[in-house]
Structure 1
Amino acid sequence: MSAALRDGRAARVVAVVGRVCVRHRFVVIGAWVLLVLALVAGARVIGTPTDNDVSLPGTDAQLVRDLTASPEAPLTSGTVILVARDGRLDDEARSGVLAATAASLRGAEHVTSVKPPSARDGSLSGDGRTGWFAVGLDVRRAELTKAVARAVTEAARPAADAGLLVLPGGAFAQAVDGSGTTGDEYFGLVLAALVLFLALGGLVGAVLALLTSGLAVLATLETVGLAGNLTSMPAQASTLALMVGLGVGIDYSLFLLSRFRALARSGLAVPEAVERAAAESGAAVAFAGVTVAVALAGLGLTGVPLLRTLAWTCGIAVGFAVLAALTLLPALTSLAGGRLASGGALHTRLARRAGPGGHWARLADRVTRRPLAAGGVALVLLVLLAAPATDLRPGQLDAGSSPESTAVRQAHDAVSAAFGPGAGTPITVLGRLPTPVTGPDDPRLPPLVAAVRDQPGVAAVGPVTPFGDGRVVTVQVIASTSGGDPATADLVHRLRGRSVPGMTVHVGGNTAARVDLADRVGDRLPLVIGVVLLLSVAVLLAAFRAPLLALKAAVVDLVSIGAAYGVLTAVFTRGWGVTWIGLSGPVPVPSFVPLMLFALLFGLSMDYEVFLLSEVRRRWDLTGDNLRSVREGLVGTGGVITAAAAIMVGVFLAFVPNDDPTIKMFGVGMAVAIAVDATVVRCLLVPATMAVLGDLNWWAPGRGRVRAAEPG
């Protein structure tokens, strides 16, 4: 450990916590079990609602939404789409079918209103073959479950029996798809179990790590689910928290168990080995958790509720992972004790190959002997990986970006084919007047319609609709391009630039809200990156007391993130191999994904930096020889960090089959960044730069070359 981690207050506190947890292990284990059971029971009783309808205060789209909100509107509304293979839905022959379908829908549980397809309100296509029932419910959007959505869709059975294609649309389709999980997430756990078995020398260590991280993840998911009753909770929040929680939870357990195993095999008694492991690796776990939390906290500066929510839900996952590693794991380890310390023959052979004279030693020797060459190779590889990021142009996802097997994609395709690409994402143009409108013939209304209709990219314009006391009117605009097309975003900007005499114009709707989100993220991006960098450097400076080392670590992490951005762009924007991950073609990268990835990856990559530099610093404190410290630090951490990275990469890749394109992006981006960080960066770039810097690594103002702390 570095001097700050080993001899500082944090290490002493963690050591005391470990000692207490060992002495009162049954109390600690029981408390964790009771906590998880209480959270699970609470979630089952109270519910875990999700809501993808995210607000964005202070924006034009949010203003439109607020001004058009009506207390008479249903709590939730969705559509049931009908498609005729021939003829028209409004044919006389089908009038009885539509009437029976409407009656059946009205009889479904929670349904409060039903409006049949009609050409007057735009819910029936021009050829009459496609239309939808607008269905209102008495439950909030966050409480709309998959069962309710399916029951409403099933209520359209008369139409299905008559040979019409019936599809859920809008909120119903989103609820039917749910979180988009496919079950492939369990592959990550299987891989983690295998790596843990090899790294810890047997089944006992693997079970301890999986049990500890499993309870932490379960506590996380139930806590996040319960929080959905207090605030808007997007469906991606729990999935992202699960990804992060599994990755860091298993990694932290692996670091602690590896250190305990080494100490126990050196002859220490189990209680003392647990306490020492907590004081050394446990302190590093605490600092690593702080770096992740600091990086996520920077997202609070965006002023975007969605990012703040994703940040604190992932923060909860990291918090539970750290807490479980520092309390539950020592208690469980003290019970396993000697069985964990003794590994099998396979583990012994692997350890011998990784030890002095093994491949890690040979790699460290080659890199530190020719640091400029090794560093140059690393930089070339990283530049090649990051090069596609020059084409990264954040855009907007719509239902057409989802896999073809999903309900939202099927509904989108049906509506787009019949009504045009922009029908599924209408734009709302709102006019505010100083006095109420006098009626449909009010002379102030035609200029609004004309200003909208004259814009390039407008396919259709609906009738003017007054709201409230008549001082607010709206016009629904259908673009000629889909909601995810950059041309539609350009149309939103043009509409906002229109001037209409006698009224103030605002533009809203889902597409406009995404445009506002992209604008705000772009405006706050430099601030967030700057603050995260400064705070992370401050944490590293507190841990290692070496300014150049802290700055170098931050810069190296940025390089890893650049490589992740490059791969993200190549796969999703350029479409390289995108069909292999379940998408039908290239899709835009939402504006918030790169920023969220930056915060997550900066924190997660810093974890490995902390563990590697901690071991290098410990060797420096003992020897004062920089090259020797770098070599021995790489050898000492090579096996465990590689195992930890393999686990995290496997966990992240297991989420790529998820139906949500956003989750696919997080899975690919995070897996690539961790893989690059654990190989190119840690094996080549970090030791090469430390070899070049020499004793400057440990320089601090006023101390020159004097070491920061003497051993003992």
Structure 2
Amino acid sequence: MSGLLGRLGEWCARHGLLVLALWVLAAGLLTAGTVVWGRPVNNNVAIPGTDAQRAHELMREGFGPGFDPGGTVQLVLYTPKGTLNEKARKKAVERSMDALRRTPHVAQVETPYRVGGMSPSLRIGIITVRLRGQDTTKIAQTSEQLAAAAAPAARAGIEVVPSDSSTPADKQIKTGVSEVIGVVVALLVLLFAFGTLVAAIVPIFTAIVSIGVGLGIIGLLGHIVDVPSTASILATMIGLGVGIDYALFLLSRHRALLARGVAVHEAVRRTAASSGGAVLFAGGTVVIALSALMLAGFPLLATLGWITGVSVVCAVLTSITLVPALLGILGQRINALRLPFFGRAARRDGPATGWTRLGLWVARRPWRVLAVTVVVLAALAAPAVTMRLGPLDDGYGDKGTSARRAYELIEAGFGPGANAGLIAVAETDERIAKSTPPDPLVQVLRQRIEHIEGVAFVAEPMVNDDGRSVMFQVVPDYAPSDPRALDVVKRVRAVQVPGARLHVGGEVAGMADAGDRMMSRTPLVVGVVVLLSALLLLLAFRAPLVAVKAAVMNLVSLGAAFGALAVVFSQGLGSRVVGMDPPVSADGSYLATLFFSVPIDTYVPLMLFAVLFGLSMDYEVFLLTSVRQAYTRSGDNRAAVAEGLGSTGRVITSAALIMVAVFTAFIAYPDPLVKVFGVGLAVAIAVDATLIRGFLVPATMVLLGRLNWWIPRWLDRLLPNLSVEGHEEDAPPAERTEPLLVDAGRHARRP
């Protein structure tokens, strides 16, 4: 495989202008396509086979307009002075309702002057708008149009805030500032690493082209499949980080070869054969980990996984084609525009001595290094047991958004449970008539639900058109993020009345089902990711113990990431630091506390596992590649570990700094979900590039000795030869030496 990649890299270098033009053209056309045809998103949170999904299906059958996801928008009214019942304000509200009825797709407008539509203070009310035939993928735009139609109320001094029926995953996230911050910091790191402006710009340019192509593909895929609105932000985060990193690894190797006097095209070929193979395998592990999310049983999470994988594939393709093309075009000018005080020239005399000394220091005391590192990592991971999972409601959103303002007004006027409404739909064996008083079966159902602990209110029941199901809107005592709300869902579902089967839907019920489904599937997903990633490493290095050890090391860095999430969010020790606003207390004031706990959405740990496992494998592949090359040349395991750490330490550190900078920059986003991902990704990469790759991996490799590269003869014969090492790139420029081979890890020999 290394030979094929080498030939591909050399061809791209010799036809650099053509390759560059094709990539830029692809990015331009795809971006233009999304401008012309749009980027449709659809946050389909359906979970087939769950109780909540059955309740939502029944909601659509004969209950009138608006009883389906995206079919209801609430306009929250608030007057700071007087009440909404005062004559002038009431007339303004009625004129607003008339305007709403004339708005396209509005099927029904429910007045706030109804039972349950007005707060006890008469200062907060809710206009419920039920829609029919609207574009359910544009909930936010629809809500804004309806709020604009309520202008008469706004002119009367009434605050009008739209609140739609979307979940946190539906919120449209706009990109911009964080990407710029991440790119600027990455450029500074690259300047320090390379010392020349031209070399620093190459990874940035490559990553931007990769992101342009990836986002264009994702945007157009929205016309074919349901693409969540958060897909683009996750794709940008991951794609930008790995795109810069992959190009950095290739560029570092290329400049080192040029410094040794290797001709430009030959240097490109050797770089593509060695580092290009490592990039291909590293990217493959990320894609495998993300693709395994399809086994989680949560369609939204599965789509997020493979859609994010598109950006990784684009990063790999640009790295093994566009980077060689740019290197061929620039030639020796890759070292042009050297900046004073930045970076150091590529060394001719071997790896960076600082990292080599660290490797030798670890090699002399592996047991002590292993013990101390394990203790430190265990301490970092210990808080993970306190992680608080649950729905992340709009009460934790940015204070400047209408979603949070509406949430707070509803909570202040109607109680915390008004934002966590449940939909209980009962299928009946016999037809029920729409009558007053209600059918005895309906009365029994309502009474049973009303007497459940934690239920604050049950609205008047609604019977569908064919009389085969009845719906109750249930308001619990607790907010959506309160764990006790999940207990209410379980109690309502436990209601049993002869002749009826009760199903419970709504946001809280849906997230409860999603959590249960993913908890049951988590062992499967983790097992598949670990197994396939280890298999890929086995194919790459033909070393079973190395493959298993790499998978275990990645799990260790994940523990540290989850521990950091628990400290920052679940324990609240850093919630303000990452820019989150405190929630509102029961008396309507903001909590005057420095720390406050924030729940983490139930699907976030599994998504983070997949992403982090793949990204952590990147540095493992690059380090192992260098160690294996050194061991193949010398046969000395201790020296090979030190040399491998020395030759990759500076590059891996620079790559990790870039990725940490990119992920940290995204913490500035107002969306809490993005903050959680930013913190988790940044901490995991930082720990992985320092404690794991700098101490734990070298110590274990020294202790294992020749067993690192041991492979049973039967397995050696069975596995295909897909080595990513590319030994020929280390040959002197005038000739190629015969590579050393390692036979079953016992001794080195010439072929």
Q: TM-score range by the shorter chain?
A: over 0.9
Quote the offset at 1:116 in angstroms. 4.4
Quote the offset at 1:175 in angstroms. 11
One-letter code of the match for 1:504? Answer: R
Name the structure 1 match of 2:629.
618
**Percent identity over the alignment?**
44
Name the structure 1 match of 2:566.
569
Please tell me whether the aligned partners of residues 354 and 360 of structure 1 are also in contact (alpha carbons under 8 angstroms).
no
Equivalent residue in structure 2 for 1:295, among 286, 289, 292: 289
Query: Mapping of 1:323-338 within 5 angstroms?
Result: 323-338=317-332
Name the structure 2 match of 1:646.
657
- Structure 2 residue 496 is the aligned partner of structure 1 residue 496: no
Note the alpha carbon deviations across 1:548-598, whole angstroms, 9 max, x for none: 111111111110000000000111100011111121232111111111111
Task: Return the alpha-carbon distance in structure 1 between the equivalents of residues 94 and 78 of structure 2.
Answer: 16
Equivalent residue in structure 1 for 2:43, among 47, 52, 57: 52
Please tell me whether the aligned partners of residues 79 and 134 of structure 1 are also in contact (alpha carbons under 8 angstroms).
yes
One-letter code of the match for 2:657? Answer: A
- Which deviates further from its counterpart, 679-688 or 295-304? 295-304
Quote the offset at 1:229 in angstroms. 2.4
Note the alpha carbon deviations across 1:285-308, whole angstroms, 9 max, x for none: 000011111111211111210111
Per the alignment, in what secondary structure is the counterpart of residue 440 of structure 2? coil
- Structure 2 residue 541 is the aligned partner of structure 1 residue 544: yes
Query: Mapping of 1:114-513 within 5 angstroms?
Result: 115-120=109-114, 122-135=116-129, 136=131, 138-144=133-139, 146=141, 149-170=143-164, 178-179=172-173, 181=175, 183-341=177-335, 346=341, 349=344, 358-440=353-435, 441-513=438-510
Task: Return the alpha-carbon distance in structure 2 between the equivalents of residues 91 and 357 of structure 1.
Answer: 78
Q: Indicate the RMSD between aligned Cα atoms, in angstroms.
A: 2.3
Quote the offset at 1:233 in angstroms. 2.3
> Residues 317 and 121 (structure 1 numbering): CA distance in 2 closer, same or farther, change over 3 Å?
farther
Per the alignment, in what secondary structure is the counterpart of residue 300 of structure 1? helix
Name the structure 1 match of 2:667.
656
Name the structure 2 match of 1:89.
84
Name the structure 2 match of 1:665.
676
Task: Return the alpha-carbon distance in structure 1 between the equivalents of residues 176 and 262 of structure 2.
Answer: 46
Per the alignment, in what secondary structure is the counterpart of residue 169 of structure 1? strand
> Residues 47 and 483 (structure 1 numbering): CA distance in 2 closer, same or farther, change over 3 Å?
same
Task: Return the alpha-carbon distance in structure 1 between the equivalents of residues 193 and 199 of structure 2.
Answer: 9
Quote the offset at 1:362 in angstroms. 2.0
Name the structure 2 match of 1:27.
18
Please tell me whether the aligned partners of residues 292 and 603 of structure 1 are also in contact (alpha carbons under 8 angstroms).
yes
Please tell me whether the aligned partners of residues 355 and 361 of structure 1 are also in contact (alpha carbons under 8 angstroms).
no
> Residues 78 and 151 (structure 1 numbering): CA distance in 2 closer, same or farther, change over 3 Å?
same
Quote the offset at 1:351 in angstroms. 5.7
> Residues 404 and 496 (structure 1 numbering): CA distance in 2 closer, same or farther, change over 3 Å?
same
One-letter code of the match for 1:211? Answer: F
Per the alignment, in what secondary structure is the counterpart of residue 215 of structure 1? helix
> Residues 309 and 271 (structure 1 numbering): CA distance in 2 closer, same or farther, change over 3 Å?
same
- Structure 2 residue 644 is the aligned partner of structure 1 residue 633: yes
Please tell me whether the aligned partners of residues 259 and 346 of structure 2 are also in contact (alpha carbons under 8 angstroms).
no
Name the structure 1 match of 2:708.
697
Please tell me whether the aligned partners of residues 622 and 710 of structure 1 are also in contact (alpha carbons under 8 angstroms).
no
Please tell me whether the aligned partners of residues 176 and 407 of structure 1 are also in contact (alpha carbons under 8 angstroms).
no
> Residues 708 and 353 (structure 1 numbering): CA distance in 2 closer, same or farther, change over 3 Å?
closer
Task: Return the alpha-carbon distance in structure 2 between the equivalents of residues 353 and 88 of structure 1.
Answer: 80
> Residues 144 and 488 (structure 1 numbering): CA distance in 2 closer, same or farther, change over 3 Å?
closer
> Residues 352 and 279 (structure 1 numbering): CA distance in 2 closer, same or farther, change over 3 Å?
closer
Equivalent residue in structure 1 for 2:65, among 73, 79, 82: 73
> Residues 28 and 350 (structure 1 numbering): CA distance in 2 closer, same or farther, change over 3 Å?
closer
Per the alignment, in what secondary structure is the counterpart of residue 505 of structure 1? strand
Please tell me whether the aligned partners of residues 105 and 114 of structure 1 are also in contact (alpha carbons under 8 angstroms).
no
Task: Return the alpha-carbon distance in structure 2 between the equivalents of residues 675 and 635 of structure 1.
Answer: 18
One-letter code of the match for 2:203? Answer: A
Quote the offset at 1:390 in angstroms. 1.3
Please tell me whether the aligned partners of residues 213 and 249 of structure 1 are also in contact (alpha carbons under 8 angstroms).
yes
Quote the offset at 1:347 in angstroms. 5.2
Note the alpha carbon deviations across 1:454-507, whole angstroms, 9 max, x for none: 110001001111123110111010000001110000111111111112111111
Name the structure 2 match of 1:7.
none
Name the structure 1 match of 2:525.
528
- Which deviates further from its counterpart, 666-675 or 585-594? 585-594
Please tell me whether the aligned partners of residues 367 and 374 of structure 1 are also in contact (alpha carbons under 8 angstroms).
yes
Per the alignment, in what secondary structure is the counterpart of residue 582 of structure 1? coil
> Residues 694 and 501 (structure 1 numbering): CA distance in 2 closer, same or farther, change over 3 Å?
same
Please tell me whether the aligned partners of residues 256 and 348 of structure 2 are also in contact (alpha carbons under 8 angstroms).
no
Note the alpha carbon deviations across 1:71-122, whole angstroms, 9 max, x for none: 86357432221102233323434232112222333455x4524514335363
Quote the offset at 1:310 in angstroms. 0.9
Per the alignment, in what secondary structure is the counterpart of residue 656 of structure 1? helix
Q: Normalised by the size of structure 1, how large is the TM-score? A: 0.94
Name the structure 2 match of 1:6.
none
Task: Return the alpha-carbon distance in structure 2 between the equivalents of residues 362 and 175 of structure 1.
Answer: 48
Task: Return the alpha-carbon distance in structure 2 between the equivalents of residues 189 and 556 of structure 1.
Answer: 29
- Structure 2 residue 543 is the aligned partner of structure 1 residue 554: no
> Residues 76 and 333 (structure 1 numbering): CA distance in 2 closer, same or farther, change over 3 Å?
farther
Task: Return the alpha-carbon distance in structure 1 between the equivalents of residues 153 and 431 of structure 2.
Answer: 43
- Structure 2 residue 580 is the aligned partner of structure 1 residue 586: no
Task: Return the alpha-carbon distance in structure 2 between the equivalents of residues 267 and 601 of structure 1.
Answer: 38
Task: Return the alpha-carbon distance in structure 2 between the equivalents of residues 286 and 370 of structure 1.
Answer: 34
Task: Return the alpha-carbon distance in structure 2 between the equivalents of residues 174 and 662 of structure 1.
Answer: 8
Please tell me whether the aligned partners of residues 467 and 473 of structure 1 are also in contact (alpha carbons under 8 angstroms).
yes
Per the alignment, in what secondary structure is the counterpart of residue 430 of structure 1? strand
- Structure 2 residue 689 is the aligned partner of structure 1 residue 678: yes
Please tell me whether the aligned partners of residues 392 and 600 of structure 2 are also in contact (alpha carbons under 8 angstroms).
yes
Per the alignment, in what secondary structure is the counterpart of residue 90 of structure 1? coil
Please tell me whether the aligned partners of residues 182 and 658 of structure 1 are also in contact (alpha carbons under 8 angstroms).
no
Name the structure 1 match of 2:734.
none
> Residues 709 and 20 (structure 1 numbering): CA distance in 2 closer, same or farther, change over 3 Å?
farther
Quote the offset at 1:516 in angstroms. 0.2
Q: Normalised by the size of structure 2, how large is the TM-score? A: 0.89
Note the alpha carbon deviations across 1:246-274, whole angstroms, 9 max, x for none: 00000001011111111122112211111
Task: Return the alpha-carbon distance in structure 1 between the equivalents of residues 12 and 51 of structure 2.
Answer: 53
Task: Return the alpha-carbon distance in structure 2 between the equivalents of residues 637 and 61 of structure 1.
Answer: 51
Please tell me whether the aligned partners of residues 78 and 172 of structure 1 are also in contact (alpha carbons under 8 angstroms).
no
- Structure 2 residue 590 is the aligned partner of structure 1 residue 598: no
Please tell me whether the aligned partners of residues 635 and 747 of structure 2 are also in contact (alpha carbons under 8 angstroms).
no
Task: Return the alpha-carbon distance in structure 1 between the equivalents of residues 352 and 39 of structure 2.
Answer: 54
Task: Return the alpha-carbon distance in structure 2 between the equivalents of residues 357 and 616 of structure 1.
Answer: 15
Quote the offset at 1:210 in angstroms. 1.0
Structure 1 unmatched ranges of 5 or more: 1-9
Please tell me whether the aligned partners of residues 374 and 688 of structure 1 are also in contact (alpha carbons under 8 angstroms).
yes
Task: Return the alpha-carbon distance in structure 2 between the equivalents of residues 172 and 599 of structure 1.
Answer: 26
Please tell me whether the aligned partners of residues 54 and 232 of structure 1 are also in contact (alpha carbons under 8 angstroms).
no
Structure 2 unmatched ranges of 5 or more: 583-595, 717-742
Task: Return the alpha-carbon distance in structure 2 between the equivalents of residues 499 and 594 of structure 1.
Answer: 34
Task: Return the alpha-carbon distance in structure 2 between the equivalents of residues 647 and 354 of structure 1.
Answer: 27
